Structure 1
Amino acid sequence: MAATIDRPVTCTSITAAGRRPVDYVWAVARIAIGWIFLWAFLDKTFGWGFATPAGKAWVAGGSPTTGFLKGTGENALGGLFSSLAGQVWVDWLFMAGLLGIGLALVLGVGTRIAAVAGTLMLALMWAAELPLATNPFLDEHIVYAIVLIGLAMAGAGATLGLGNLPIVRRNAWLR
């Protein structure tokens, strides 16, 4: 009779639901980063007083891009980015990006598209801040972008999200 060996739970162990513990870590990371994007959209839209005062809310006629982009004037690419500040098309594109990326990540649908769009948005925000004040090249924008790429590669929308819906499984672009 062969003896059984108790093995520790690892990232490759499969749970009864067919998920590995690491799948849940990626899912929580997906929801957390999605909430960062979604919260930025909500606070900039309604001015709930966390990062955006009510008087500067988008619904009150404020520009969601002006504060950040105007503050880049002294940076390496400041001329380019500060010239975009307050332009209606930039505001709409930025806010649509925040909402779309946030919803896709929180819901677990379209995570690949959200990862590409989010990485692009974060890379542009990183470039607007060059040179960085606290590190020669790395800040939270790059770290979030790396995590977004990991989310897409791990198929993180299938755990704790809508990524297992039949329509999503049939259409790779929705994953």
Structure 2
Amino acid sequence: MLMVIPIEEDTMPATTGTKATAAVRSPLGDLNHRPHPGRHSVAADVLLAVTRVSLGWVFLWAFVDKLFGLGHETTSAQAWVNGGSPTEGFLAHAATGPFAGIYHDIAGAAWADWLFMIGLAGIGAALVLGVGMRAAAVTGATLLVLMWAAVLPPENNPFMDDHLVYALLLGVLAVFGAGRSFGLGGWWERTAVTRGRPYLI
């Protein structure tokens, strides 16, 4: 026997015009749901944070060593604080390839020294703190590609070297919002400085 189950009016979704105002949920959940790009598993967050800080330290160490001449790659006599040039040694003597002439011309220029050192410090600090990841990714990738172009072709590969890998890694960190992973990225995105300026996030 066919049974008919009555449906009370107040159980039906209210409608306005032709569109229903109450949605019927699927028992499988929202199949169109996508997680927030800044939310990851704990393991992913740890990996992003360690990678971000490690890459930031690469930039910061280069800045500190060239500034004070700690003896690792830069001697005390070559330190910027002692009158040395952070760019002259590399650009004047190590630059090779099709762009070598350009790099030789700017080697030791005051503006090149300042831009290079500000870039190292700013990019490194942004990565370690987790703020301004997009700006750090763009400026950092630009600096790395310029350094890659100064020694063409690379010593151990027809075109690929660690500069390009680091540049790609910066893009990955920015896309996945790595500044929010054990960093200050979440707080930075809510400040007045970044409001209406997504390029500063």
TM-score, normalised to structure 1, is 0.85
Alignment of 1:60-99 (within 5 A): 60-99=82-121
Work out the percentage of aligned pairs sharing the same amino acid. Answer: 52
CA change 1:33–1:56 in 2 (3 A) is same
Structure 1 residue aligned with 2:5: none
Q: Does 1:28 align with 2:50?
A: yes
Alignment of 1:119-130 (within 5 A): 119-130=141-152
Alignment of 1:5-154 (within 5 A): 19-20=40-41, 21-154=43-176
Question: Structure 1 residue 74: deviation in Å?
Answer: 4.0
Between structures 1 and 2, the one with greater helix share: 1
Q: How many residues align?
A: 158
1:54 maps to a residue whose letter is S
Question: Structure 1 residue 52: deviation in Å?
Answer: 0.5
1:168 maps to a residue whose letter is E
TM-score, normalised to structure 2, is 0.75
> Aligned equivalents of 1:68 and 1:155: distance in 2?
33
CA contact (8 A) 1:72 1:81 kept: no
- Long gaps (5+) in structure 2: 1-38
The more displaced of 19-28 and 86-95 is 19-28
Structure 2 residue aligned with 1:9: none
- The CA RMSD measured in Å over matched residues stands at 1.6
Cα deviation, 1:11-43, whole Å, max 9, x if unaligned, reads xxxxxxx64121221111110000000110000
Q: The residue matched to 1:138 in structure 2 has which SS?
A: coil
Q: Does 1:168 align with 2:189?
A: yes
* Greater C-alpha Rg: 2
CA change 1:110–1:54 in 2 (3 A) is same
- Long gaps (5+) in structure 1: 1-17
Question: Structure 1 residue 71: deviation in Å?
Answer: 2.2
